[in-house]
C-alpha cells in the first residue's frame, strides 16, 4: 500500500460506492455448468407411464365439476332414506297456501325409493288462484347452473299423477325472473311412473341459473330422478368439455381414481362401492361421502371413470376399498365378500361381454373391455391393523385370476423393503416448499430392486402454497426432476388434488380451479406441462456443477414430436434461489452442429413475486411463457431467472437423425 498514490485509493473507494448497485448485481449472478452425455450408452428409457393424473371426488371435483349433470340431488335421496327428509338444495316456488311438498318412499326404483310428492293447493281459477308463473320446485344445481345461449340441455324426469298434468320445465335466472328456456309436459294419463324428456335451447346466457318445475293446476304430482345435462359434453360421455380439455393438455399416461380418502370413507358404510355406481343413472342410489362431507348422485361412477381413462388415452388405476375405512375395519378372516366385489369389478372392466359382469358393461354401451392393468389395494392404510392380512388376500386372489394386473401396496418401500409382495408401492408427500424441493434427491439412494415407486400424491401444502403459488410449483418442479432422474425406480407420479370447485374448497391447493363456467390452472398445473413429453422419452446422464447447487436442479431428455416429426433434446432447470444463474450447457455425444435455432424454444414459468397465484380475474398471471431459443447448440449459455422453472427444447437438425438411445420403441411420440 505504501507506494499506492493516495488519489488512486480515493478513486477506488468512490467508484466502489458509485457502482455498488451494479457490482452487487454482477456478484449476485451465479454461474453453473450443466454437462449432458447424450451418447447411447448414457441413455435410459423413461417409463411410458411416468406422468399421469389422480382424480379424487373431493372439492366437488366430479359432482358439480367434471360430471356435467346440472341437478344436485336429482333423486331427492341426499336427505336419507327416512321420510320426511330434507330435499336440499331443492326449494319451493310458492308458499304453504299454494303447495305442500314432502318426500315419500313411492319411487319405482328399488335402490332409491325416495320420491317427491308435490300437492298443489292453488288452481288456474277459483278461490285459490295460483300466482303468475305457477308454483312448484326448483334446483339451483351446484352453486348455480351454467346455461349458455344457443346450447341445448336435455331434461329427463320421472313423473306420476292421478290427474292430468301441465308442468312447465324451465331454465331461469337465480331468482326465477329471467326465463332462459321453457317447455311443457302435458299428459292425461300418468298414473304409473312415466319418464318424460324435454330438450331446452337457451335463448340467453346465465351462469347462475336454476331448473324449475312449475304448474298452475291443482292436484298431486310425484317427481323423481330429475336430470338436466348439456347435450354438448366431451365425446358425448357426460364430461364437462372445458375441464376435460385441461386434463387432455397434460397428456396423462394414467388416471388414478376415485380417491384418496373418498375410497376409504370415515366409516365403511359410506365408502365408495362400485356396484352402486353402475347401470342406468336413474337406478343408482348415490351416497354420502363422509370424508369430504357431501352427497354424490354417482352419475360419475366406476364405468364413467373407465370411460374417461379411455377417452384420455390413459391407463386406469383403480383404487379400491380393501375393507378398511378411517374408523372401522373388516377382519382378514371375513374379507371374502369384499374380495369378491373387487374380482367382480375387474371382470366388469375386462371380462368379455358374455361374462357375468362384462355383460353389464356391454349393456351400458361398451362391449369391448376396458384396459385395466393397475389396481391399488386401499389408500393410506398401511399402518392399520388389518392391512397386511387383507392386502395379501387381495394380492393372491387378483394375481391368480389376472396375472398381468399390477398391484399397488399402500406401504412405503422407499426406506425399507416391503414385507409383502407388490408391483408398486405408493408414496405420498405433502409438505412445505423447501422440504418438497429437497426431495428431488429422495429416490437417489433407494433400492433398485423390488417393487417400483408410484408417487400417487405429491404437492406443496400450507403457507408456502397459499391457494396455488409459484413457490409451490417451483418446489414441485424440483421434486419431479428428481422423479424423472430416478425413473428407473419411480414409474408413476401424479399431483393431488386435481380439481377444486371454488365454492367448496376443502383442500388447498389444487391443480385446476373452476366454478360453473370459469376455470384456470394453478402454477402447479402449468408446471406439469413441462413434463408432458417425458413419459416414454429418453433420459440422459447429466451433471450439474454450481456453487449453490442446493437451489438448482436440472435434467435432460430427448423426445420426438409427431406433429412436426422432429426430435428434440429438452433441458429443464429449476432455479429455486433468488439469484440469476448463468448456466453453461455442454452436450456431448451429438454430431457438431446438430442443433438448429429455428424450431428451438425456451419456456419459462416465473413471476415477480414468489407467492403469486392465478385467479378467475387473472388466470394467466403465472403461466409458462414460450419464446424462440437463439443460439441453440451443443455449447450454449442460458440465463435462469431467479425463482424460475425453465425448459429448453433443442431441435435436432436432421429429422432422420437417430437419437441416441431412441430406438423405434424407445421414444414416445407426442400425438395429442
What is the binding site for ligand AHR (CB under 6 A)? 56, 58, 259-261, 379-380, 457, 496-497, 507
Task: Name the H helices within 29-108.
Answer: none
* Minimum distance of ligand AHR from residue 58's CB (angstroms): 6
* Minimum distance of ligand AHR from residue 657's CB (angstroms): 43
Long-range contacts at 21-25 (CB < 8 A, ≥ 24 apart): none
For residues 74 and 209, give the distance between their C-alpha atoms in angstroms, rounded to a whole number. 16
Nearest alpha-carbon partner for 435 in 463, 406, 476 = 476
Determine whether 484 is an active site residue. Answer: no
- Backbone φ and ψ for 343, nearest 5 degrees, come out as -60, -40
Nearest alpha-carbon partner for 428 in 400, 457, 398 = 457
Cβ distance 107 to 113 under 8 Å? yes
Cβ distance 414 to 490 under 8 Å? no
Q: HEC string of 366-416?
A: CCCCCCCCEEEECCCCCCCCCHHHHHHHHHHHHHHHCCCCEEEECCCCCCC
Please work out, in degrees rounded to the nearest 5, the angle formed at the alpha carbon of residue 574 by the alpha carbons of 573 and 575. Answer: 115
- Cα distances (Å, whole numbers) of residue 118 to 82, 84, 133, 137, 156: 18, 13, 16, 9, 18
Q: Smaller CB distance to ligand AHR: residue 144 or 497?
A: 497
- Read off the DSSP letter of residue 239: B
For residues 53 and 64, give the distance between their C-alpha atoms in angstroms, rounded to a whole number. 19
For residues 652 and 655, give the distance between their C-alpha atoms in angstroms, rounded to a whole number. 7
* Minimum distance of ligand AHR from residue 50's CB (angstroms): 20
Cβ distance 50 to 494 under 8 Å? no
For residues 69 and 75, give the distance between their C-alpha atoms in angstroms, rounded to a whole number. 13
Task: Name the H helices within 414-558.
Answer: 433-438, 470-485, 523-529
For residues 585 and 574, give the distance between their C-alpha atoms in angstroms, rounded to a whole number. 14
Distance of CA 82 to the CA centre of its chain: 35
Q: HEC string of 316-365?
A: EEEEECCCECCCCECCHHHCHHHHHHHHHHHHHHHCCCCCHHHHHHHHCC
* Minimum distance of ligand AHR from residue 289's CB (angstroms): 10
Please count the other Cβ atoms lying within 10 Å of the Cβ belonging to residue 110: 8
- Beta-carbon contacts of residue 498 (< 8 Å; ≥ 6 apart): 53, 54, 55, 56, 61, 247, 510, 511, 512
Q: What's the length of the chain?
A: 672
3-state secondary structure of 106: coil
Catalytic entry in 57, 304, 380, 457: 380
Residues that are catalytic = 380
Amino acid at each position: 500500500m505504501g507506494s499506492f498514490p493516495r488519489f488512486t485509493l480515493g478513486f477506488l473507494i468512490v467508484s466502489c460506492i458509485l457502482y455498488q448497485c451494479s457490482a452487487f448485481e454482477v456478484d449476485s449472478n451465479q454461474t453453473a455448468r450443466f454437462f449432458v452425455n447424450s451418447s447411447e450408452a448414457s441413455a435410459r428409457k423413461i417409463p411410458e407411464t411416468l406422468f399421469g393424473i389422480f382424480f379424487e371426488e373431493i372439492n366437488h371435483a366430479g359432482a358439480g365439476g367434471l360430471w356435467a349433470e346440472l341437478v344436485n340431488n336429482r333423486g331427492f335421496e341426499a336427505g336419507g332414506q327416512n321420510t320426511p327428509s330434507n330435499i336440499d338444495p331443492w326449494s319451493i316456488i310458492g308458499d304453504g297456501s299454494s303447495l305442500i311438498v314432502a318426500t315419500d318412499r313411492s319411487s319405482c326404483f328399488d335402490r332409491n325409493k325416495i320420491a317427491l310428492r308435490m300437492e298443489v293447493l292453488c288452481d288456474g281459477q277459483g278461490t285459490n288462484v295460483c300466482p303468475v308463473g305457477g308454483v312448484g320446485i326448483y334446483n339451483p344445481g351446484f352453486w348455480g347452473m351454467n346455461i349458455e345461449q344457443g346450447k341445448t340441455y336435455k331434461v329427463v324426469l320421472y313423473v306420476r299423477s292421478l290427474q292430468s298434468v301441465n308442468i312447465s320445465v324451465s331454465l331461469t335466472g337465480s331468482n326465477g325472473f329471467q326465463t332462459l328456456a321453457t317447455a311443457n309436459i302435458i299428459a292425461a294419463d300418468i298414473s304409473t311412473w312415466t319418464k318424460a324428456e324435454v330438450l331446452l335451447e337457451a335463448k340467453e346466457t346465465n351462469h347462475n341459473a336454476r331448473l324449475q318445475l312449475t304448474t298452475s293446476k291443482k292436484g298431486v304430482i310425484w317427481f323423481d330422478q330429475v336430470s338436466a345435462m348439456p347435450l354438448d359434453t366431451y365425446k358425448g360421455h357426460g364430461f364437462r368439455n372445458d375441464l376435460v380439455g385441461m386434463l387432455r393438455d397434460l397428456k396423462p399416461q394414467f388416471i388414478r381414481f376415485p380417491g384418496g380418502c373418498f375410497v376409504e370413507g370415515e366409516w365403511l358404510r359410506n365408502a365408495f362401492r362400485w356396484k352402486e355406481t353402475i347401470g342406468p343413472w336413474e337406478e343408482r342410489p348415490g351416497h354420502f361421502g363422509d370424508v369430504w362431507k357431501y352427497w354424490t348422485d354417482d352419475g360419475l361412477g366406476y364405468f364413467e371413470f373407465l370411460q374417461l381413462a379411455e377417452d384420455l388415452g390413459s391407463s386406469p388405476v383403480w383404487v379400491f376399498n380393501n375393507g378398511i375405512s378411517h374408523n372401522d375395519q373388516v377382519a382378514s378372516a371375513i374379507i371374502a365378500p369384499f374380495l369378491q366385489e373387487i374380482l367382480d369389478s375387474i371382470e366388469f372392466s375386462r371380462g368379455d361381454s358374455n361374462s357375468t359382469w362384462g355383460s353389464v358393461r356391454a349393456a351400458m354401451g361398451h362391449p369391448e373391455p376396458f384396459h385395466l392393468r393397475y389396481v391399488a389395494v386401499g389408500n393410506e392404510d398401511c399402518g392399520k391393523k388389518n392391512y397386511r392380512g387383507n392386502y395379501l388376500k387381495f394380492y393372491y386372489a387378483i394375481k391368480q385370476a389376472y396375472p398381468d394386473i399390477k398391484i399397488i401396496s399402500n406401504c412405503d418401500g422407499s426406506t425399507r423393503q416391503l414385507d409383502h409382495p407388490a408391483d408398486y408401492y405408493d408414496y405420498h408427500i405433502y409438505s412445505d416448499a423447501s422440504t418438497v424441493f429437497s426431495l428431488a434427491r429422495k429416490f437417489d439412494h433407494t433400492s433398485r430392486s423390488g417393487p417400483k415407486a408410484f408417487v400417487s400424491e405429491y404437492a406443496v401444502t400450507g403457507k408456502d402454497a397459499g391457494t396455488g403459488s409459484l413457490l409451490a410449483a417451483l418446489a414441485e418442479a424440483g421434486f419431479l426432476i428428481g422423479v424423472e432422474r430416478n425413473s428407473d425406480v419411480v414409474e408413476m407420479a401424479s399431483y393431488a388434488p386435481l380439481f377444486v370447485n371454488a365454492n367448496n374448497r376443502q383442500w388447498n391447493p389444487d391443480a385446476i380451479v373452476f366454478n360453473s363456467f370459469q376455470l384456470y390452472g394453478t402454477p402447479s398445473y402449468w408446471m406439469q406441462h413441462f413434463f408432458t413429453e417425458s413419459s416414454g422419452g429418453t433420459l440422459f446422464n447429466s451433471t450439474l456443477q454450481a456453487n449453490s447447487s442446493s437451489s438448482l436442479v436440472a435434467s435432460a431428455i430427448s423426445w420426438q414430436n409427431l406433429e412436426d416429426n422432429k426430435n428434440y433434446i429438452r433441458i429443464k432447470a429449476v432455479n429455486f434461489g433468488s439469484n440469476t444463474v448463468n448456466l453453461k450447457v455442454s452436450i456431448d455425444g451429438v454430431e457438431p452442429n446438430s442443433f438448429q435455432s429455428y424450431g428451438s424454444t425456451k419456456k419459462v414459468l416465473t413471476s415477480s413475486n414468489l407467492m403469486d397465484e392465478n385467479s378467475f380475474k387473472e388466470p394467466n398471471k403465472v403461466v409458462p411463457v414460450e419464446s424462440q431459443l437463439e443460439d441453440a447448440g451443443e455449447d450454449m449459455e442460458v440465463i435462469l431467472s431467479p425463482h424460475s422453472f425453465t425448459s429448453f427444447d433443442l431441435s435436432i437438425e436432421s429429422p432422420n437423425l437417430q437419437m441416441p438411445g431412441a430406438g423405434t420403441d424407445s421414444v414416445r411420440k407426442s400425438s395429442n
